[in-house]
């Protein structure tokens, strides 16, 4: 009977040791998870802060006086370039048209000259 009691005590001791080991591993895993969650929360907070700062800079660049001035400058420069290109296109078109008209006139004169000479 003493042997049975001793075996039961040994088995109970072994179960308790395994339970303590399992408990320690669970505690370590929980600690790791909480640290990872805290780290993830910190990264999320930093990302959110960065997004808010970017949005603030965007707002400032477009809706501040300096930002509005810059947008107006870009608009004016772009419009001026487009107007100059349209003027240049029309100038070339007029030159081509005038040249074609002159050439047509010369051909017509040459044809008339041929008709009257024969």
Degrees, nearest 5: CA angle 85-91-93: 100
Q: What is the pLDDT of residues 5-28, one digit of tens each?
A: 677 677 777 777 777 777 887 777
Does 59 share its domain with 72? no
> Is there a single domain that holds both residue 35 and residue 15?
yes
Summarize pLDDT for 61-109 with one digit per residue, the tens. 667 777 778 878 888 999 999 999 999 999 999 999 898 888 888 888 8
Assess whether 101 and 51 both reside in one domain: no
Q: What span, in angstroms and rounded, lies between the C-alpha atoms of 66 and 3? A: 92
Count of Cβ atoms closer than 10 Å to residue 30 Cβ: 10
- Of the three residues 21, 46, 63, the one that is the final residue of a domain is 63
Q: Which two structure tokens, joined as six digits, stand for 74?
A: 């870009």
Does the pTM exceed 0.75?
no
């Amino acid at each position: 009977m003493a042997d049975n009691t001793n075996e039961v005590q040994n088995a109970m001791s072994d179960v308790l040791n395994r339970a303590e080991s399992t408990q320690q591993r669970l505690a370590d895993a929980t600690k790791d998870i909480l640290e990872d969650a805290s780290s993830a929360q910190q990264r999320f907070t930093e990302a959110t802060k960065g997004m808010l700062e970017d949005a603030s800079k965007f707002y400032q660049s477009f809706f501040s006086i300096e930002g509005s001035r810059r947008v107006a400058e870009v608009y004016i420069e772009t419009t001026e370039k487009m107007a100059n290109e349209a003027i240049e296109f029309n100038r070339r078109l007029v030159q081509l048209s005038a040249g074609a008209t002159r050439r047509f006139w010369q051909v017509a004169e040459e044809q008339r000259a041929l008709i009257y000479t024969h």
